[in-house]
Chain A
Amino acid sequence: MGEFLVSLIVALIKIAVVLGVALGLGAYLTWFERKLAGHIQARLGPTVVGPFGLLQPLADGLKLMTKESIVPRGADMPVYYLAIMMAVAPALLLFSVIPFGPEFEIFGYSIKPIVADVNIAILIVFAMGSLAVYGTIFSGWASNSKYAFIGSLRKASVIIAYEVVLGFAVLGVILLAGTMSTVGIVEAQLEKGIWFIFYQPIAFVLYLFCMLAESGRVPFDIQEAEAELVTGYSVEYGGMKFGALPLAEWYLNVVALSAIAVVLFFGGWSGPQILGPFSPYFWFLVKTFGLVFFVIWLHWTLPRFQARDVTEVAWKIMLPLALLNIIATAVAVYITGG
């Protein structure tokens, strides 16, 4: 009974920490993105609220929460509200399988800094990625608006194409590591002493594209497409309901998928010991943030693909490449014995 209670408390603390970090990071990424976009365009970004505009996320949150909530006529009310939960929950659940560091001991208990160390963690990532599309589809359907609906249908076609590619791309890493557990994959890389990006560069590029497509980032943001669909599926939402959808898609999803990319390809928490016991966390956060920076940088650089081209690229170019990559990896693993 005592042991159960301790593990329950530990799990609750881990969930609270991860939730706080994820939501706080998501909020401050809006500030970071606006600053970066501003400086890329020779502007300043937010400067007025607080020093360097650092309180801008709080001001935005207050503004969104105090806004009037307008629900369109003919909206499917239960689904309309459910869609927000369906968008936010999978994005948050992605964080549950991310290992932030190695196992450590405190008060005689060994604790893993991961919410759920399951041996099918990568499958959970795929499942949550596919579940996230329900949020988009529901919000488009329930809004009773053609722009929103076109946006959600585009997102559905993109997700179908890119989930397949994502699965096949990650399969190479799973073959190399011999496990689906995220902790296991990082430990395999530590054991081999080399990051999997050097074995699987094609898989990494494919993963990067799938990440951009799943989180609705440029150049695959055809479901948002400000110029043609206003903002796609979230156009009929107001106030914090509107804030939650981009928060989940553009920020939480990008951070979570970047963290998983770090686990799969960049050796997770591995790195030189420069900060004592905190260096694994430091390296993990630095690598994740580097990828997030790259994604945002890409967002403010590239134009958008045509809706037709996005799925065409996935089915005609990326899927064959991923399959070839798996076959090559499988043969190599078979010959060298893993």
Chain B
Amino acid sequence: MGVKRVNRKDFLNLIETIFFFDFLKGLSVTLRNLLRKPITTEYPSEKLTPPKRFRGAHGHFVWDGSEPNSLKAIEGYMSYEKGKSRCVACYMCQTACPMPTLFRIKAVQEPDGTKRVVRFEMNLLNCLFCGLCVDACPVGCLTMTDLYELAGYSRREAVLKIDRLENHGVDFKKRRDKEPDRIWIDDHHREKLWGKIEWTG
């Protein structure tokens, strides 16, 4: 890799000094910027939509009939309800998590022998939004949504309980399920920076 040499003089010549060449150059740059359109997003009234792979607040996908057939196999062992979380309380997310105290998960055995998740809580104050828990989930339940306004008035509000996780999952699926999974908001923006990608086939 060659070194790119920038050809720039250290001193101005006499004519350039007299006419303040460097000042004029700087002024032309700021004037061009002055006439450019501002790039501000006026935040509370306008909000950016993050790309689908954005790692925001967590959510649980629910048991709604859209899950793959492989998951149907465990239906007999779990006491699932329609429209409730499809979590199996396997503790894989807690195991993958770099922060040991982030999850509180509890499951009980029902009289008929099935397993029921009674508690799934995440303390987002400890969360660093790495997404390892999502990768670890074996039933495709835990996900990360595009919600990024997570500020609250108390520490209690930062703890996601199972009903909020379910709501996030349902909401996220409803809004963005159809979109392709990507880290750019659209192909136009990606191509501006990285150019067009040539796929085979």
Contacts and interface: CB of A to CB of B under 8 A. Distances in A.
Interface string A290-311: 0000000110111000000000
Given A42-B39, A44-B42, A36 B26 contact: no
Contacts of A36: 34
Contact of B30 (A43, A44, A47, A301): A301
B38 A40 contact: no
Contacts of B36: 42
A39 B27 contact: no
Contact of A44 (B26, B33, B38): B38
A97 to B, nearest CB: 30
User: DSSP class of A's interface residues: helix, strand, loop or mixed?
Assistant: loop
A42 B33 contact: yes
Interface residues of A, number: 14
Contacts of A44: 38, 40, 42
Contact of A297 (B31, B38, B42): B31
A207 to B, nearest CB: 15
Nearest to B33: A40
B193 interface: no
Interface in A27-77: 36, 38-44, 47
A301 B23 CA distance: 8
Q: Give the interface SS of chain B, mostly helix, strand, loop or mixed.
A: helix
Contacts of A297: 27, 30-31, 34
Interface string B19-48: 000010011011101101111101000000
A39 B32 CA distance: 10
Interface in A263-314: 297-298, 300-302
B34 to A, nearest CB: 5
Contacts of A302: 23, 26
Contacts of B26: 301-302
A39 B34 contact: yes
Contacts of B39: 42-43
B23 A43 contact: no
B38 A301 contact: no
A41 B37 CA distance: 10
B33 to A, nearest CB: 5
B122 to A, nearest CB: 36
A39 B23 contact: no
Given A301-B26, A302-B23, A302-B26, A39 B31 contact: no
A298 B42 CA distance: 27
A47 B36 CA distance: 17
A38 B38 CA distance: 8
A38 B36 CA distance: 11
A242 to B, nearest CB: 27
A320 to B, nearest CB: 15
A221 to B, nearest CB: 16
A298 B33 contact: no
A300 B27 CA distance: 9
A39 B36 CA distance: 8
Going nearest first, the 10 A-B pairs with the smallest beta carbon separation are A301-B30, A301-B26, A44-B40, A40-B30, A44-B38, A42-B39, A40-B34, A39-B34, A42-B38, A40-B33
